Structure 1
């Protein structure tokens, strides 16, 4: 077919030359046994534009593969037909290489595998193990490492991982790895200690907080830890590893006396749910809050509230949500709970009113009450959805709050 014929065919049947970038991009992680585990991106608009489409190719397939140990990338692009370069808006190879590290191997799969073998010899994770991060799940062993972004190998690992932020986090963007306030934590499967496999990673920023002039003069440092990005590889999702990852990092950060609060930056619904369930379960099972004693009066006690919130480094909104969930859980799951459902409803509505005070203040009283009731009912149903899979461990009677 001539070039002119190609152009005419493309203009008459553009759909034949247009591919969904979400479907064309085929991703894989190869494990230490050589098996390739496939997965698909959730988003490709940060790379290929808002339409998430690529024009100018027929039967387009983009292969992006990673080694599970070193995360060395391999890129290949295949198609059955292609328009002239000047008629193509985006070349998938060129575009993807803008977001991948320089060591990315293109086309030459044999070279990629040789380099993987070379990098795996005597491989050492470029960072330090997080204290108390060991756990076992489904017969496998896992550990968390804080990656040294000041080292050449640590920085290279981050460059290999970061494209996943664009492909799996809506509105995700790369962090400034040269900023010393950024932390990178990677979750590894370490059943084979010589070849640890990457399961997921998270980035967190350490915000300095002015502690007041007295503490400042004494040299006391206070920080807020903000989780920015949190990813478990799709090939390892659905096994409870994200919850274990978050739980062990949170417990590790709780020991840092400099930290006064641990927060999340713009969490999506799935991470919000994970966080709620993990926080809820931890506070109850670690005997921070005694469900038998919890009631609206205690939850409304400002001294008790502040003590627990500060001790657990929880942000205000998150702790209030957890208390609301606990009250509803006790109401529906614990016999002889001794709670008044109306008081719980009013307790929750009070927060909803404060959150939407400006908008509600413009409404007449019947409309305002109706809006609040609708919001409460929706939130109550969402809480029950979140709590449905929560299974608290049986054990000795819960103790009083530890502060």
Structure 2
């Protein structure tokens, strides 16, 4: 070891903070189009750089990872002012390349731009089939089911999948070669005035992956070669620059509507959702159930089980989720002076909580059991009111029903957490 290197390593050991970088801060993400580059930050980098989310041995480290807004072809460039001469340092390029497709362009930005233009000149098209579209705030959006069996579809998935590690806690790559996986991508269409100027490229807004679990359809359908599946949403991402606009709920709702039209899909479920997705899903599903709600059959004291089973199957909802939605609707009716009583709703919810925790509650004395149930109910009620927030559902109020109830003064609204 040279004297210079010895002094450098000695200095590094005395000032490790100078040579230590946060991988969350060092990784700079960009989405680029012909006009601009939009910067956004990762939420997690531990799947790539370890639990501490730090990189040692570099000064002023910046890792630039850029994507084209349409093809999502990536570009990687790594810059730093100084680097320790230590063979044990992490090779940042090699580490990043483990999670990026082989066609990633490294360091040469001009070559990256040229490669994107070449791909587009070769008539690049979205590698899939449009399954739905919608408009929000005057902007058009389209949902495509990507063909993962096609080379271009598989390549697009490889370009997108690193975002799973950066934005989903404990996220991991799927086996895209497994035919039971589906990939759906949400695109923002260009505005009409842009098309007139020759800019006709849509931009990727987000994506979701879903797995088709085989479900035995019964011997008659099985003998005829018919099949049924439970489709499970695994990963769901809206790019940060598009968040806060309600696009996640619109994407989910329209994708859900598409699945409702597919006869072979019998149930729609979600794998380990985080709180943010759970809230969005609850609010979207609430509107679907409320649209089919029958006030006469949604009475907490004696809810119509036949209607429950029929509606749940029509909406392809799992039992647990449908139970939550019923309870949310009943509390919504309490909050807005609907045709239910708070005590009846409380008893209805407690009965489900008791059934769910029966084994643990049966061994307790009556006073303790009641206390546990009340505590669980209060926590759930508070969370339900938080979810309801300012949600508006198409449900009747007492004053709209006519008769004697319409003459009674409206119930005082409950204070809720929003």
* TM-score normalised by structure 1 residue count: 0.92
What does the per-residue CA deviation read over 1:230-251, in whole Å, with 9 as the maximum and x for residues that have no partner? 0000111011111110000100
2:120 matched residue in structure 1: 120
Q: Does 1:84 align with 2:90?
A: no
Name the CA distance, whole Å, in 1 between partners of 2:371 and 2:117. Answer: 65
CA RMSD, 1 decimal: 1.9
2:387 matched residue in structure 1: 386
Q: Does 1:176 align with 2:198?
A: no
2:109 matched residue in structure 1: 109
Aligned with 1:213 (options 219, 239, 248): 219
2:416 matched residue in structure 1: none
User: What is the CA distance between 1:106 and its match in structure 2?
Assistant: 0.9
1:241/1:74 CA distance change after superposition, 3 Å: same
Q: Does 1:97 align with 2:97?
A: yes
Number of residue pairs matched by the alignment: 388
How do 1:4-403 and structure 2 match up within 5 A?
4-31=6-33, 33-88=34-89, 90-121=90-121, 122-130=123-131, 133-191=132-190, 194-284=200-290, 287-291=291-295, 294-297=298-301, 299=303, 301-333=304-336, 335=337, 337-392=338-393
Larger radius of gyration: 2
User: What is the CA distance between 1:359 and its match in structure 2?
Assistant: 2.5
What does the per-residue CA deviation read over 1:155-184, in whole Å, with 9 as the maximum and x for residues that have no partner? 110000000011111111111111111100
| Partner-residue secondary structure (3-state), 1:27 | strand
Name the CA distance, whole Å, in 2 between partners of 1:61 and 1:159. Answer: 23
Q: Between the two structures, name the one with larger relative contact order (CA 8 Å, sep ≥ 6).
A: 1
Structure 2 unpaired stretches of 5+: 402-418
| 8 A Cα contact 1:348 1:376, kept in partner | yes
User: What is the CA distance between 1:28 and its match in structure 2?
Assistant: 0.9
| 8 A Cα contact 2:186 2:205, kept in partner | yes
| 8 A Cα contact 1:22 1:42, kept in partner | yes
Structure 1 unpaired stretches of 5+: 399-403
* TM-score normalised by structure 2 residue count: 0.89
Larger CA deviation: 245-254 vs 191-200: 191-200
| 8 A Cα contact 1:100 1:159, kept in partner | yes
2:409 matched residue in structure 1: none
Name the CA distance, whole Å, in 2 between partners of 1:163 and 1:291. Answer: 47
Name the CA distance, whole Å, in 2 between partners of 1:200 and 1:310. Answer: 29
Name the CA distance, whole Å, in 2 between partners of 1:298 and 1:149. Answer: 48
